[in-house]
Structure 1
Amino acid sequence: MKEAFHPNAYLQHVKNVKNGLITRSRILIAIETQQSDGTAIAKKKSLSYGVVMHHLRLLEGEGIVSRKGRRP
Structure 2
Amino acid sequence: MKSQDAYKLLFCDYPDVVTVEQMCEMLGGISTKTAYRLLKAGTIKSFVVGRRYRIPKLNILEYLELIEKSNA
TM-score (norm 2): 0.40
Normalized per residue, the structure richer in strand is 2
TM-score normalised by length of structure 1: 0.40
